[in-house]
Structure 1
Amino acid sequence: MTSAHVAKPASADWWRGAVIYQIYPRSFADSNGDGVGDLPGITARLDHVASLGADAIWISPFFKSPMADFGYDVSDYRDVDPLFGTLADFDALLARAHSLGVRIIIDQVLSHTSDQHAWFKESRSSRDNPRADWYVWADPLPDGGPPSNWLSVFGGSAWQWDSRRRQYYLHSFLTSQPDLNFHNPAVQEALLGEVRFWCERGVDGFRFDACNHQFHDRALRNNPAASFDEQQEVSTVRVDNPYAMQVHLYDKTQPENLVFLQRLRKLLDEFGAASVGEVGDEHPLPIMAEYTERGQRLHMAYSFALLTPSVSAQHIRTQSEGLERELAKTGGWGCWALSNHDANRVASRWAPGNQPDLRLTRTLQALLLTLRGSVSFYQGEELGLPEADIPFEALQDPYGKTFWPEFKGRDGCRTPMPWQKDAPNAGFSTGASTWLPIGQGHAERAVDVQAADPDSALAHARAVLAWRRSDERLRTGAITFHDAPEPVLLFERRLASGESLVLAYNLGAEPVDLALPATLGPIKALSGTPLAPAALDSLSRTWKLPAFGAAIAVG
């Protein structure tokens, strides 16, 4: 039964500066003991999310799927996979979240489907059926080879031979994830209908997966080779993947997508639903700005710019300033993430020797929540969970299986959420086993342990989230960076009225005496926030930052 639709004002901008807590449903909470998380499990743990103070939840795909890519291969957009529950379970989750003041964003995968989707089964059956042109089909070259040199993100050719039609079909990801043909108006109409279904059910917004993969070059022109320097710059995939050896001019990010996004935005505005797009590209910042042009396309977008294997203060500054320059042209809005279901957890990834340090974990929480833009906060990030090491025999991720052992895949960031230290499976499941093992040391970082510790990562995350919610400077204020030596990041968040905060982050393992630059006016220590005011020598204008420390002042 569809939830009653309640119209929401199209101008509502709750999403601007919002904190969106990402839930990977397989790994959040298991309600029935089968070892896999599900929708009732999420509902049972919503109090935790509400206690954090997140504005919304983004739930990764829970739709019907053969699970070749764990839900990102959809076989029915309008039904819940039995692994996760039922539509009634989703409605109950939505109602409970709304009663707690938390909005629900669902993950929509529009660029491709599963090869088990009814649309693809019909499309591949012949060259003249009603859906024959719903996917990207092409004849082989005279020598039998694929029609272009396009590559899959998961390795190898992006073209798969199909003996039924005696043609190749395009798959930007797994061979079981055929790309839809967005040049066909009927495909666009069908997909807008799938989005409308969930709008009418009452969701508050959508995260659109791989949203710049939705069109391809009609002429199927070959991508040019990337230079060595360009290959080193790629942050969307590993450089040991041949995908990084091309400049992806023709297989994604096509101009026709802008028109489709305008149609999509018109539908979303009808229901007051928000949107965030995932932009995977070698140079994502201009695309993010173009895709979020004020009132025209998506509400916000994020990239993999801060999901890099290592970090420097200069890299963060370059990415933030670059995005701000691009957004100034379009009035668009960005969204930042330090972790998600596709990247090693930041508590390990950016730590020296990949060994988590609670001081750095707390500083990175604060950094993410004080940058300008909205925030995607991945489950377990509030606990400072480290990356888990998954042995090959327990590996589930097809990406990791392909590139093992140089790249172990994404399972290490997808392990079950630890809720109770001394409970079976850390409170995630009552089952005999779980789909992925509990991460090493995760039970000791369980929610119940950290909830009782005022100095824990969880306590700090709650404090910073509450501070962000209460301070408009952090939600929507402008950002200005000031010169500081590595590994220090120094910036201001300022409202048009002139009220400003000055924030300094030491990303290094040694204390730093920071000489304040002339570009930064007088400052004074600010107490009563989760960040230490830090010692300030007013005569020498030197700010003493502890190792892996953060400090705050007012300008």
Structure 2
Amino acid sequence: MNLAVAPMLDNATNKDWWRGAVIYQIYPRSYQDSNGDGVGDLAGVVQRMPYIASLGVDAIWISPFFTSPMKDFGYDVSDYCDVDPMFGSLSDFDAIVNAAHNHGIRVMIDLVLSHTSEQHAWFAESRKNKTNSKQDWYVWADPKPDGTPPTNWLSIFGGPAWQWDGRREQYYMHNFLASQPDLNFHNVEVQDALLDVANFWLNRGVDGFRLDTINFYFHDAELRDNPALPIEERNATIAPSVNPYNHQNHLYDKNRPENLNFLRRLRSIMEPFGAAAVGEVGDAQFGLEILGQYTAGNDLMQMCYAFEFLAQDQPSADLVVKVLKKVDDVAADGWACWAFSNHDVQRHASRWNLSTDAQKTFATLIMCMRGSVCLYQGEELGLPEADVDFGDIQDPYGIEFWPEFKGRDGCRTPMVWQTSNQNGGFSEGKPWLPVAHEHLNMSVDAQENDPNAILHHYRKAIQFRQTKPVLALGEHDNLNTDGCIVSFTRHLDGQSIQCAFNLSDTPSEFILPAGEWTPMGEELGCVQTAVGNKIHLGPWQVYIGQKREH
């Protein structure tokens, strides 16, 4: 196969390009439809690359576009090395890489390594019998003597994590849908095949990977039951509260120590390309600890994100500081990637019931935090969660737990580009999910013409971060809370920047640390005046100041 030649960014001599980067997540099915079939595609992403570049982001992360039966919308892969016709072709992907690189934007793709579709050729072979060449490429196990599943492990999508297969008279494991069988990472041949997949895309020009469910790769080889989780320790960070998945301490179906050696193998494949990875750590109890383990040193993953800021409750000043301090403690040698929204959770504008001013403050906060940043398409428009009727729901997760949990479609509705038609400029056909009516007046075109729109604030906040290396790369200290104010100091190469954020509707005051500080960020609406060392912060106001060096 001839690979298209894409312009290369300088990853080889700038292997730390990911550190402090701002990454923009694209859910291609809902970004831009180029052919009128109602489904976004790769050519649509190319079409919108000038807009993406206008945001000032460093990289894009594209959610799965591989060949798939789409039972979980691309997270059930039947061919890792091809593009599903719904999204286009490999040449369309090459066009994305070329367009992005020409705009100075790196390309990260979403690799789903923990499981495949049941329609993958590997599984078709594996399920034939117990003697074929791929008989142990998936997690197969005999039933208990009474015919019940081999362990008490549960699926995130509801019910047991085991599906009976009459051909082999065994159960196979699935952490998600029954049509998503888990690969057996204890088999080195499986690891080798997945590393070949990574190599395929690296050679095609990608700059890195978002690794879906990175802590789910290995299972306990002894097939031990998970213990119960005390009721006071349960939370709905990973799965909704109506899901019994929250009733277990997931010691044996994920989070296994054997994963570290595989991640080292993956890093060694990426290293010659200067590629970087961000891992999704899905664990309600030990997410930050796992983040620390998986990003420690120089031979594992560069970045991971946990779910502390993807949780239901609005982060208080105390929680922000608690999380940042815990990362300092458990991931002192690692690197976090922060996100407030993505394709799996309710949009944070609705989840936290934020006003526009509050959204702007949180946008400024995430751009000032130590770590890298992921933004989700439409977040920069301040889009709220869409209310999708049950008759329009596509997500199997929502169908299973409706109405207590409505699934993930509300954050996956199409991007709105213009107000002039009911499809928001997304498609000339009927969109796969309806465009939310309340989104239309928040379209890109509408906001471009409004100097006070949140879109412009996001652009300014991203530029503010990128023109000040201390915010992207620096250390932090003096993490403090005073009522609803969270504050910290960033340091790099003798420069210091002080940040304070009022995360409330109530005015408050902030006392500057010792020293002389020059206010910054007027373009972000930051407070520019002080009375001595005292800063008055109105509701949702921010102070950022640079220390004067003598």
| Shorter-chain TM-score tier | over 0.9
Gaps of 5+ in 1: none
Q: Aligned partners of 2:16 and 2:148: how far apart in 1?
A: 50
Q: Is the 8 A contact 2:325 2:479 kept in 1?
A: no
Q: Aligned partners of 1:250 and 1:528: how far apart in 2?
A: 48
Q: Is the 8 A contact 1:4 1:200 kept in 2?
A: no
Whether 1:151 and 2:147 are equivalent positions in the alignment is no
- Opposite residue 67 of structure 1, the aligned amino acid is M
Find the counterpart in structure 1 of residue 242 from structure 2.
240
Shift of 1:248: 0.5
Q: Is the 8 A contact 1:467 1:529 kept in 2?
A: no
Whether 1:511 and 2:515 are equivalent positions in the alignment is no
Find the counterpart in structure 2 of residue 441 from structure 1.
438
Find the counterpart in structure 1 of residue 387 from structure 2.
389
Whether 1:326 and 2:327 are equivalent positions in the alignment is no
Shift of 1:528: 4.8
Find the counterpart in structure 1 of residue 297 from structure 2.
294
Whether 1:521 and 2:524 are equivalent positions in the alignment is no
Shift of 1:534: 2.0
Find the counterpart in structure 2 of residue 488 from structure 1.
485
Give the match's secondary structure for 1:427.
coil
Shift of 1:10: 6.7
Find the counterpart in structure 2 of residue 61 from structure 1.
64
Whether 1:161 and 2:158 are equivalent positions in the alignment is no
Structure 1 residues 130, 349: CA separation in 2 closer, same or farther (over 3 Å shift)? same
Q: Is the 8 A contact 2:503 2:539 kept in 1?
A: yes
Q: Aligned partners of 2:110 and 2:161: how far apart in 1?
A: 23
Q: Aligned partners of 1:184 and 1:38: how far apart in 2?
A: 35
Deviates more, 1:186-195 or 1:235-244: 235-244
Find the counterpart in structure 2 of residue 401 from structure 1.
399
Find the counterpart in structure 2 of residue 122 from structure 1.
125
Shift of 1:27: 0.4
Q: Is the 8 A contact 1:533 1:553 kept in 2?
A: no
Q: Is the 8 A contact 1:525 1:536 kept in 2?
A: no
Give the match's secondary structure for 2:147.
coil
Q: Is the 8 A contact 1:523 1:553 kept in 2?
A: no
Q: Is the 8 A contact 1:205 1:274 kept in 2?
A: yes
Find the counterpart in structure 1 of residue 538 from structure 2.
546
Q: Aligned partners of 2:335 and 2:480: how far apart in 1?
A: 25
Q: For 1:262-277, what aligned pairs fall within 5 Å after superposition?
A: 262-277=264-279
Give the match's secondary structure for 2:81.
strand
Q: Which string of whole-angstrom CA distances, capped at 9 and with x for unpartnered residues, describes residues 251-275 of structure 1? A: 1111111000001000000222111
Whether 1:459 and 2:461 are equivalent positions in the alignment is no
Q: Aligned partners of 1:362 and 1:283: how far apart in 2?
A: 30
Q: Is the 8 A contact 2:61 2:109 kept in 1?
A: yes
Structure 1 residues 380, 157: CA separation in 2 closer, same or farther (over 3 Å shift)? same
Q: Is the 8 A contact 2:67 2:77 kept in 1?
A: yes
Q: Is the 8 A contact 1:532 1:552 kept in 2?
A: no
Q: Is the 8 A contact 1:344 1:387 kept in 2?
A: yes
Find the counterpart in structure 1 of residue 350 from structure 2.
348
Q: Which string of whole-angstrom CA distances, capped at 9 and with x for unpartnered residues, describes residues 188-242 of structure 1? A: 111111111101111111111001100000000000100122103x522222211
Shift of 1:294: 2.3
What TM-score do the two structures reach when normalised by structure 1?
0.95
Find the counterpart in structure 1 of residue 215 from structure 2.
212
Q: Aligned partners of 1:453 and 1:474: how far apart in 2?
A: 28
Structure 1 residues 253, 482: CA separation in 2 closer, same or farther (over 3 Å shift)? closer
Whether 1:38 and 2:41 are equivalent positions in the alignment is yes
- Opposite residue 253 of structure 1, the aligned amino acid is N
Shift of 1:17: 0.3
Q: Aligned partners of 1:481 and 1:27: how far apart in 2?
A: 41
Find the counterpart in structure 1 of residue 523 from structure 2.
530
- Opposite residue 544 of structure 1, the aligned amino acid is H
Q: Which string of whole-angstrom CA distances, capped at 9 and with x for unpartnered residues, describes residues 494-541 of structure 1? A: 1141x1111121221222233x27xx32353414543334265534x4
Q: Is the 8 A contact 2:321 2:479 kept in 1?
A: no
Q: Aligned partners of 1:135 and 1:68: how far apart in 2?
A: 19
Counterpart pick for 1:478 among 436, 460, 475: 475
- Opposite residue 553 of structure 1, the aligned amino acid is G
Find the counterpart in structure 2 of residue 426 from structure 1.
424
Shift of 1:542: 3.0
Q: For 1:76-91, what aligned pairs fall within 5 Å after superposition?
A: 76-91=79-94
- Opposite residue 319 of structure 2, the aligned amino acid is H
Find the counterpart in structure 1 of residue 318 from structure 2.
314
Q: Aligned partners of 1:230 and 1:528: how far apart in 2?
A: 41
Q: Aligned partners of 1:332 and 1:484: how far apart in 2?
A: 24
- Opposite residue 335 of structure 1, the aligned amino acid is C
Whether 1:336 and 2:338 are equivalent positions in the alignment is yes
Whether 1:415 and 2:413 are equivalent positions in the alignment is yes
Give the match's secondary structure for 2:482.
coil
- Opposite residue 86 of structure 1, the aligned amino acid is S
Q: Aligned partners of 1:434 and 1:372: how far apart in 2?
A: 38
Q: Aligned partners of 2:520 and 2:111: how far apart in 1?
A: 42
Counterpart pick for 2:138 among 135, 139, 145: 135
Q: Aligned partners of 2:307 and 2:537: how far apart in 1?
A: 29
- Opposite residue 310 of structure 2, the aligned amino acid is L
Structure 1 residues 491, 528: CA separation in 2 closer, same or farther (over 3 Å shift)? closer
Q: Is the 8 A contact 1:125 1:164 kept in 2?
A: yes
Give the match's secondary structure for 1:505.
strand
Find the counterpart in structure 1 of residue 184 from structure 2.
181
Shift of 1:550: 1.9
Q: Is the 8 A contact 1:10 1:269 kept in 2?
A: no
Give the match's secondary structure for 1:530.
helix
Q: Aligned partners of 1:396 and 1:320: how far apart in 2?
A: 36
Q: Is the 8 A contact 1:335 1:374 kept in 2?
A: yes
